[in-house]
Amino acid sequence: MRPSARASIDLPAQAVQAALDALQETIAIIDGRGVICAVNAAWTDFMQANGGDPQSCGVGANYLTACDEAQGPCSDEGPPVAQGLRAVLRGERPDFSLEYPCHSPQEQRWYRVQVRPFQSGQARYATVVHENVTEHKLMEIRSDDLDAEVAQGVLSQTADLRQENSELDAFIGAVSHDLRAPVRHLQGFLNVLRRRAADRLHEEDHRVLDILDASSQRLNSMIDELLGLSRASHTAIQIRPVNLAQVVLRAWANMAPETQGREIDWIAGDLPVVRGDPELLRLAFENLLSNALKYTGGRTAARIEVGSHEEERSWVVFVQDDGVGFDPRYTHRLFGAFQRLHHEKEFQGIGLGLLNVKRIIERHGGEVWAESHPGDGATLRFPKPPGQ
């Protein structure tokens, strides 16, 4: 005859106890009244090692009472465990778990008590297990300490970098102002020399003076760019809603001297409203549009486009042109100081304009990068204002 699926074999009480004693976890079986029905050897050892005794924590004792009246190094968890055990035995919650410290004079220890119910016939019981989680807890503490140490290190390095940047910007501003006077003197005396010695100078002398004049003008342009970089770093940002379409149109209007006599297909698409400083953003777009005009200078007809598209949490704005472009291998150099990807004889400039753009956009919480493809140019990312 085939045995029933519910058939069971009655084990001798001695075998059941041996099975319990084989478990490393400290375990006790509690009946519906809170009385301890069975414990294993690990339970007895654990309770005795922490101030308990067989009368309060052994078979026949009421574990609820023992928890309520707990004394000794692990007594603080007693009342919460009693409350959780009562809730499990009454069926008010499916289980209960609590992690608690139980330190001895010799070592730090942490345990996790877990209470789980089970039925035997009509009676409801619960197993109470105390698991040693000291190793896990110590690893967790070490990890938290390491995280805190790393966070402190990052804060310290960030503060140092801010201080260094502030000092560098202050240095740039001071040097730029101090250089103005000697450059003006150089240009003035060059003009005086031209007037006084015009009839005595040979062709080679004029060529040398032209080189000196061009160098002084380039130095003056470098000073202007350095001052612009200092302003972009130090100017207090006046944050408010900014219509980028209006900012770009103002920047394009300021490009009028550079567009005279040129055929340019100018396209301004839909642009979003962002939160920022309209003057600093205008300066950024003037730099980008000036670059576009410069690198399309060799074309009979040029095309410059400003547009945007929406992403999940940001607006992406692009400035593209059909100029000479750049080698994508050197994209990482575009937004650095004094970085040029073309010879000075081809295109004038000192390589600070895009660094200005980078500073301004990053101060607005955005980012900027260059894209090398048909219609090369710069792409900006602005965080969306809350609610958009």
The domain limits of the chain are 15-132, 161-234, 240-383
369 vs 265: CA distance, rounded Å: 24
Q: How much is the average pLDDT of 135-147?
A: 71
Q: Do domains 15-132 and 240-383 have the same CATH topology?
A: no
Q: What is the largest CA-CA distance in the chain?
A: 132
75 vs 191, higher pLDDT: 191
255 vs 337, higher pLDDT: 255
DSSP 210-248: HHHHHHHHHHHHHHHHHHHHHHHHHSPP--EEEEHHHHH
328 vs 101: CA distance, rounded Å: 60
pLDDT tens digits for range 224-278: 766 665 666 555 678 889 999 999 998 888 888 778 888 888 888 889 998 888 8
208 vs 31, higher pLDDT: 31
- The pLDDT of residue 348 is 46
> pLDDT tier at 145 (50, 70, 90 boundaries)?
low
**Record: fold of 161-234:** Helix Hairpins (1.10.287)
Paired with 227 in beta bridges are none
Class of the CATH domain delimited by 15-132: alpha beta
- Average pLDDT of the chain is 76
CB-based burial, 263-273: b 16+ in 10 Å, e otherwise: ebeeeeeebbb
- The pLDDT of residue 173 is 61
160 vs 201, higher pLDDT: 201
Under 8 Å between Cβ of 103 and 114:
no
Q: How much is the average pLDDT of 209-217?
A: 80
- Has residue 3 got a pLDDT over 60? no
| Four-way CATH pick for 240-383: 3.40.50.10140, 3.40.50.300, 3.30.565.10, 3.40.50.9100 | 3.30.565.10
- The pLDDT of residue 249 is 92
Under 8 Å between Cβ of 334 and 341:
yes
- The pLDDT of residue 226 is 64
Which has the minimum average pLDDT: 51-65, 154-168, 283-297? 154-168
245 vs 221, higher pLDDT: 245
- β 123-132/273-276 pair status: unpaired
Percent of the chain scored above 90 by pLDDT?
6
Q: Across 49-58, 64-73, 202-211, 317-326, which has the greatest mean pLDDT? A: 202-211
pLDDT tens digits for range 29-85: 999 898 998 988 888 888 777 767 777 788 888 988 888 887 766 667 788 888 888
- Has residue 349 got a pLDDT over 50? no
Under 8 Å between Cβ of 293 and 258:
yes
329 vs 195, higher pLDDT: 195
User: Cα Rg for the chain, rounded, in angstroms?
Assistant: 39
159 vs 235: CA distance, rounded Å: 20
Residues 6+ apart with CB under 8 A from 363: 232, 233, 237, 280
- The pLDDT of residue 355 is 76
